[in-house]
Chains A and B, each alone.
Chain A
Amino acid sequence: MTSFFDAIMVLLILTNLALLGTSRLRTCIHICALQGLLLGTLPLTTTIELISFRAFLLAGGGMVMKAIVFPRLLERTLQDTHVQREVEPFIGYSISLLAGIGLLGFSLWLGSRLPLPSMITSPLVIPVSFFMMMVGLLLIVSRKKALTQVLGYLVMENGIYAFGVAISPEAPFLVEMGMLLDAFVAVFIMGILMFHINREFDHIDTDRLSVLKD
């Protein structure tokens, strides 16, 4: 079963690298949805002996939110704002990919240095969750569009979720649900905010917002 778990981990890494390398906004949203789907399966694979009601609820809630609700919200924002379909990065795609590989190496090193509780399901899960948080940060700082910044925020949240699942027996259920709700509200508000920014300024390029003066 660890092999299956590792396969999901490798797929998660690949979705992160794909996010760094794709140029289309819509494809980015779809990759994010796929990532949510993969993350949703994690609670089911960690507790294989006793698939509890709690694990099901966690998996189901996560999947519905991250693979269906968030992408739908973001796609609607994309349609409403009529933005260009390109991501427009500050850092080129190839360089971002290489930076992603560098971050992965760093997080593997970091993961090997940390003293961990023995309950960890796979040694890969901690580095991968660190990696996801860092990729999320990289997406936030290196992309121009407000929409990709929301995606970066989501990827970061996914990383925290993966971290939480790794130490699942210790983390209370309410915290996880609360986190999911927070992310939902954030995406919802950011969608509305982007719509208003777009209506006011005809674009959602964040670097051009910084030249505004009151």
Chain B
Amino acid sequence: MNAAYLHLPVALIFAPALLSVINRIKALFAGRTGPPLLQPYYDLAKLLKKGAVYSRTTTWVFRMNPIIGLSAVLVALAFIPFAGSVAVLATKGDIFILAYVLGLARFFLIIAALDAGSSFEGMGASREAQFSALTEPAFLVGLAAVSRATGGLSLSEMYGALSFQTWMSIGPIVLLVAAAFLIVLLTENARIPVDDPNTHLELTMIHEVMVLDYSGPDLAMIFYASALKLWIFGSLLVGLVLPIHGANLWLDALAAYGGMVIMAVCVGVIESCMARLRLLRIPQLLVAASSLSILAFLLLLR
């Protein structure tokens, strides 16, 4: 049996736990005890028990968004190879399916935010559209560079072909792509140098402002979808940085899950040590990420 069928349920169960690892690291830096490790699950359970409230200005678009968002992320998760195993839905060219399925979720998030009729959410939607247009080149060109380096056409082939041999031969290039992916991860998941996940009422926030009008099960779905999104980008980054494919399946899985925890710790450390960038500086960071990816790709073309 393919190991991916085991990795998928683990991702579904443990994705919110990554968020609590990040929160615990931030609490550690601030000298607080921090919320319990199961806090995201308590939040989800609490939200699922509540009823949803809809504003009279909203239409079906607003109500569809959480469902489309969650299902798109679930589909995207099925394309992600984990610990060197072949993903459940691996096909040739699934890089583009991944990018556009996530793009679909983002499109609905944006028009649902516009549908809510709040000027505040409109600002968030505009920023999300701008920044995601700048992240996508970094992400896609980075994946193209990995594809060029490994000769694979699907994500599973690409990540399966990566090994420490790759690090020995083209280490600097892999490092460039990894740095670009880290910036993409922080941007896509609304993490600190770009956006602050804790603020709900600030003029410069991006992601959180777009979900202000959701409540109850809808908010639970959005929250769960964002946790899964962190898992998706995290596993792409960890697969690149720690390509451990030994003989033993269990050891590989252990290394990959350890890598995910380390990734969450790194995100927590970054969030604790950095201030959020000025809104005008964010496009510059994203262009820098794109140029890292393009640089890696150009060096491979040589």
CB distance from B243 to the nearest CB of A (A): 17
The binding surface of chain B is classed by DSSP as: helix
A6 at the interface (CB under 8 A from B): yes
CB distance from B290 to the nearest CB of A (A): 8
The distance in angstroms between the C-alpha atoms of A7 and B52, with both chains bound, is 55
A108 at the interface (CB under 8 A from B): yes
Bitwise interface map of A from 1 to 12 toward B, beta carbon under 8 Å scored 1, else 0: 001001101110
Partner of B283, one of A9, A14, A94, A104: A94
Partner of B295, one of A17, A21, A93: A17
Partner of B291, one of A3, A7, A11, A101: A101
A98 at the interface (CB under 8 A from B): yes
Q: How large is the interface on A (under 10, 10 to 19, 20 to 34, 35 or more residues)?
A: 20 to 34
B169 at the interface (CB under 8 A from A): yes
A1-52 interface with B by 8 A CB criterion: 3, 6-7, 9-11, 13-14, 17, 21
The binding surface of chain A is classed by DSSP as: helix
The distance in angstroms between the C-alpha atoms of A175 and B171, with both chains bound, is 35
**Inter-chain contacts of A10 with B (CB < 8 A):** 172-173, 176, 295, 299
A169 at the interface (CB under 8 A from B): no
Whether A93 contacts B171 in the complex (CB less than 8 A), given A98-B291, A105-B298, A108-B302, comes out as: no
CB distance from B296 to the nearest CB of A (A): 9
- A94 close to B284 (CB less than 8 A): yes
B168 at the interface (CB under 8 A from A): yes
B294 at the interface (CB under 8 A from A): yes
Whether A123 contacts B302 in the complex (CB less than 8 A), given A3-B168, A97-B288, comes out as: yes
- B302 close to A17 (CB less than 8 A): no
The distance in angstroms between the C-alpha atoms of A105 and B294, with both chains bound, is 9
Bitwise interface map of B from 272 to 302 toward A, beta carbon under 8 Å scored 1, else 0: 0000000000011001100100110011011
Partner of A94, one of B168, B287, B294: B287
A94-114 interface with B by 8 A CB criterion: 94, 97-98, 100-101, 104-105, 108, 112
CB distance from B133 to the nearest CB of A (A): 13
**Inter-chain contacts of B173 with A (CB < 8 A):** 10
Q: A14-B295, A104-B295, A124-B302 are in contact. List 19 more A-B contacts (CB 8 A).
A: A7-B171, A7-B172, A9-B172, A10-B176, A10-B295, A10-B299, A17-B288, A17-B291, A21-B284, A94-B287, A97-B284, A97-B288, A98-B287, A100-B291, A101-B291, A101-B295, A101-B298, A108-B301, A123-B302
